[in-house]
Structure 1
């Protein structure tokens, strides 16, 4: 099994329209790349405010490249993106 990486993205203020417009391309990218193990929106007060994606990738550079290629990021949805190795312990 390859290492796991957490991609944690925080949306820009008022970015919901960008998220909605680019969702189909984002989901296609996930399916095409085949390295996403888990993923979904971060929530705050019942509203989407970011994304958490767990990747299975050969190394940190590959995980960062995946994040850089995500249509959400390319569309300017995010205020910040961090990619860090993650170790699954439970679940």
Structure 2
């Protein structure tokens, strides 16, 4: 969590994904705002949970916010 807090200025939204009963975590969702893909990859590679092998996979995808309009 410290890694995420250290990059709080890039966080759009972050939190755990849950099963339908909402009693078991099934993953995490991070929507981050980085200037480019390389910065996003560097963030993910430096994540202590990722480095420790906690995540089965990490997917980085571009995202274009449509709503709300800002």
- Output the TM-score relative to the length of structure 1: 0.64
Give the 3-state SS of the residue equivalent to 1:79 in structure 2.
coil
Structure with the bigger percentage of strand? 1
Q: Determine if the alignment matches structure 1 residue 72 to structure 2 residue 36.
A: no
- Output the TM-score relative to the length of structure 2: 0.81
Rounded to whole Å, the distance in 1 between the matches of 2:66 and 2:19 is 25
Rounded to whole Å, the distance in 2 between the matches of 1:37 and 1:71 is 20
**What is residue 32 of structure 1 aligned with on the other side?**
6
Extract structure 1 runs of 4+ deviating beyond 4 A. Answer: none
Q: Which runs of 5+ in 2 are unaligned?
A: none
Rounded to whole Å, the distance in 2 between the matches of 1:30 and 1:78 is 15
Superimposed CA distance per residue, residues 31-84 of structure 1 (whole angstroms, 9 cap, x where no aligned partner): 212311210011124211111101110101111111111111112111111001
**What is residue 64 of structure 2 aligned with on the other side?**
87
**What is residue 62 of structure 1 aligned with on the other side?**
39
Rounded to whole Å, the distance in 2 between the matches of 1:56 and 1:89 is 14
Number of matched residues?
A: 65
Q: Which runs of 5+ in 1 are unaligned?
A: 1-26
